[in-house]
Structure 1
């Protein structure tokens, strides 16, 4: 069962064709360059792919989370997570809170050009000393007249090197814990803002990742996003969608890894026949297919609940946990079936194997997902 309509299926076909024609031939090039060209992002904006869940008045095609879900799953199936992360973080994590909680002026300044692909966003929350514990961030924002002055640094920020705007979490009341967090919009040319360094990663190479530094970065007060000291709740509000997005992308890549393994096992000749002549290989592929389907059904169920407006925190956490763990396992099994060739750069299975590992960390670690689920089960005080 799935929550998609015929229109969503047609959209899926169009997206898949676009990705295969316009993106797939360039993935290796962008991985080496460690950057996705802006021309490609603008083209996706022109085709409407950045506005699938945005109201028409801001350049989108209407609020439709299922349509955007199709995009994320197909991005994952492309097996180009660096590219998928660049797009996903922009439309689902950075632009989304501005659309949901921003003023009309902010929406016109960032959402409208964001939908068009003219401006690309990043979300800056994580710090060297604060990851899953958002309340522990130490970046400060002090009100001075009609401005705020930000001081501190952020790390592991996707799109951080080349973004045009950054949704930044900072403490406006350092003594209040999570009740003292506020969100701000920082532009890359703001005085006092610096991309401290570009980070080198194991995978997701086409996705630029940065450490950011705010050296008394002064921004106008009208770039405060939402109410002062309410930023933590805005971040938490978007986590369901972010985790669904990650589940959908990793589900797509898990399917791609399975497809690569099946194709290789059918064509690779060993001991006088294809690998599929061996029961151990056939059963391994079957086990992989079962795991992928289980993750798909759980993810679609959580997505369906979310699209209906149901509180699906537990189901979304289950989907993120299951899909990411499954993708890592399936990619590893697929590489094993490829043997030594799977470890070579010329075979795309190695990219899935490298790229999937971080999905169990970002957007909430597997351990955090289990704690959320445990709390919903009434297992925590």
Structure 2
């Protein structure tokens, strides 16, 4: 079995990890897997599943207890991310909400902001989104066009953001805006914007290649008044904050990529040992055995580096370059593994009712979001050549 082949992982070695892992397995099988296909048809998950997940203590796992979180370290968040991906669950945008948005507020928010948002986020009664990407601005975040004009006690925000995960269900968003009164170098500010604000509008859910159950839409801002108290950290510091937190986001993508690959291998082992061709199981052919061996080898190698990055993140030592390596390489690895696994399913692998087909579609975005892999290579190369060119 795959689990017996892979080296025991020190990152999940405690009894708490084992117990919580079993609880997660049970929760996902009972409350999410039976409904995921319906959510795919609807283009979004239910709000109820957010509250149920909060009740289980699986949202904002590493947020301090005094703000409503569980107070565990990031390894428990990583375990949940991995489990979701292993089961092929891509609908609920839990990780973005818990591990990215909540972390911004924990690290940079005022006490009033923390007390206003974090307890409700932990309970799943207030869903968060982060709005950076614009129609004409993808990876080049310094070129955003959404503006926030200073009106004394508030900002007047105009613009739009595209491809926003949790966009349709969100109760608030961290929105990156240009504040013209700041210097050109430090002109980006992050605002906590409530979805109930007048002029805050949500578009329809995109019809995507994959991740059909994850609500993704455009957000529009038409003269939205945002009080100055909703600035995250300081005016003009938004770009710096985004650069600081992208490493964590890229690590979560790497973790999910490894989980998706592991699930694909497990599904393929099961299928190839049952499915027969030329009067024997497909797994009995040397080509199948070689392909599965190659996939397992790549997974093991990548898992070891990802675990090292998780340990670095817990200690606050994860570099932008290491996160870029993990994200770029793991997403490439998972794409290749899922493609190889789908091939072993033959024609059935192309049928949507087979989980391997959905993994193939859902996983493809891993090489795009969180910064494209081309951007990751630029970051890595820049560090390699630092001081030489």
TM above 0.5, one fold? yes
Following the alignment from structure 1 to structure 2, what is the Cα–Cα distance between the partners of residues 35 and 149? 30
Question: Given the superposition, is the C-alpha separation of residues 63 and 234 from structure 1 closer, same or farther in structure 2, using an over 3 Å criterion?
Answer: farther
The reply to whether residue 26 of structure 1 matches residue 68 of structure 2 is: no
Q: Which residue of 2 aligns with 1:76?
A: 85
The reply to whether residue 125 of structure 1 matches residue 132 of structure 2 is: yes
Following the alignment from structure 1 to structure 2, what is the Cα–Cα distance between the partners of residues 197 and 93? 24
Q: Which residue of 1 aligns with 2:190?
A: 183
Following the alignment from structure 1 to structure 2, what is the Cα–Cα distance between the partners of residues 236 and 313? 8
Which of 54, 58, 64 in structure 1 is aligned with 2:73? Answer: 64
Q: TM-score, normalised by structure 2?
A: 0.94
Question: Given the superposition, is the C-alpha separation of residues 99 and 356 from structure 1 closer, same or farther in structure 2, using an over 3 Å criterion?
Answer: same
Structure 1 stretches (4+) deviating beyond 6 angstroms?
A: none
Q: Secondary structure at the match of 1:184?
A: strand
The reply to whether residue 215 of structure 1 matches residue 226 of structure 2 is: no
The reply to whether residue 3 of structure 1 matches residue 11 of structure 2 is: yes
Following the alignment from structure 2 to structure 1, what is the Cα–Cα distance between the partners of residues 161 and 99? 20
1:248-287 correspondence runs (5 A): 248-287=255-294
Q: TM-score, normalised by structure 1?
A: 0.96
Following the alignment from structure 1 to structure 2, what is the Cα–Cα distance between the partners of residues 130 and 178? 17
Corresponding pairs, count: 379
Q: Is the 8 A contact 2:60 2:69 kept in 1?
A: yes
Following the alignment from structure 1 to structure 2, what is the Cα–Cα distance between the partners of residues 291 and 109? 44
List gaps (5 residues or longer) in structure 1.
Answer: none
Which of 4, 10, 14 in structure 1 is aligned with 2:23? Answer: 14
List gaps (5 residues or longer) in structure 2.
Answer: 1-8
Q: Which residue of 2 aligns with 1:197?
A: 204
Following the alignment from structure 1 to structure 2, what is the Cα–Cα distance between the partners of residues 174 and 262? 59
Q: Is the 8 A contact 1:173 1:229 kept in 2?
A: no
Following the alignment from structure 2 to structure 1, what is the Cα–Cα distance between the partners of residues 255 and 294? 20
Following the alignment from structure 2 to structure 1, what is the Cα–Cα distance between the partners of residues 222 and 99? 28
Following the alignment from structure 1 to structure 2, what is the Cα–Cα distance between the partners of residues 233 and 217? 24
Which of 369, 375, 378 in structure 1 is aligned with 2:382? Answer: 375
The reply to whether residue 46 of structure 1 matches residue 55 of structure 2 is: yes
Q: Secondary structure at the match of 2:197?
A: coil
1:220-231 correspondence runs (5 A): 220-231=227-238
Question: Given the superposition, is the C-alpha separation of residues 199 and 144 from structure 1 closer, same or farther in structure 2, using an over 3 Å criterion?
Answer: same
Following the alignment from structure 1 to structure 2, what is the Cα–Cα distance between the partners of residues 331 and 212? 32
Deviations 1:277-311 (A, max 9, x none): 21111101111111111111111111112212224
Q: Which residue of 1 aligns with 2:240?
A: 233
Q: Which residue of 1 aligns with 2:254?
A: 247
Task: Report the Cα offset of residue 94 of structure 1.
Answer: 2.2
Following the alignment from structure 1 to structure 2, what is the Cα–Cα distance between the partners of residues 281 and 66? 34
Q: Which residue of 1 aligns with 2:94?
A: 87
Q: Is the 8 A contact 1:2 1:297 kept in 2?
A: no
